Structure 1
Amino acid sequence: MRLDKFLKISRLIKRRTLAKEVAEQGRIQLNGQPAKASTKLSAGDELTIRFGQKLLTVKVNDLRETVKKDEAQSLYTVVKEEPVHQD
């Protein structure tokens, strides 16, 4: 599954176009490497996303084409959430 589609379905980012923009800005890493919106994900991958002043690291548990809103969080596990340190 594409990275941008996973971010939308898992509701980590609300819209697929926004997920694509965030990836193009270099704010998403997949297993420690910069990731594009079209990067293919698989279960067990680790994503790090920079949202403004915080870094969110999640582990991909499952990839599904559709998911109900209340089940979206089951697609990933939050590994850590930390503030971004400004130099």
Structure 2
Amino acid sequence: MRIDKFLKVSRIIKRRTVAKEVADLNRIYINGQLAKPSKHVNIGDLIELHLGLKVIQIKVISLIPSKDTLMYELISEEKRSL
């Protein structure tokens, strides 16, 4: 599954176009490497998102969207200062 679609269906980012813009601005890393919107994610991948002043690290645990379970595990969430 593409990273922009994963972020949308896992409900981390509300719209796929916003997820694509975040990736185009070089704010998404998968396993420590810069990711473009078309980069594929796999189960077990570590994703780091730089959203505004927040840095969120998650681990992919599922690629199948489900209404009752999360598709990721939150590893850390930090607020950066200016």
What TM-score do the two structures reach when normalised by structure 2? 0.93
Contact 1:9 1:67 in 2 (8 A): no
Q: Deviations over 1:1-33 (max 9, x none)?
A: 100110000000000000000000001000001
The equivalent residue for 1:77 is 73
Aligned-residue Cα RMSD (Å) equals 1.1
Equivalence for 1:25: 25
Q: What percentage of aligned pairs have identical amino acids?
A: 48
In 1: Cα distance, 2:80 partner to 2:46 partner: 18
Unaligned runs of 5+ in 2: none
Amino acid in the other structure paired with 1:67? S
TM-score scaled to structure 1, two decimals? 0.88
Matching residue's letter, 1:82: E
> 1:67 Cα deviation (Å)?
2.7
- Structure with the larger helix share: 1
Query: How many pairs are equivalent?
Result: 82
Partner AA of 1:20 in structure 2: K
4+ residue segments displaced more than 2 Å: none
Aligned ranges 1:6-85 → 2 under 5 Å: 6-64=6-64, 66-68=65-67, 70-71=68-69, 74-85=70-81
Alpha-carbon shift at residue 85 of structure 1 (Å): 4.1
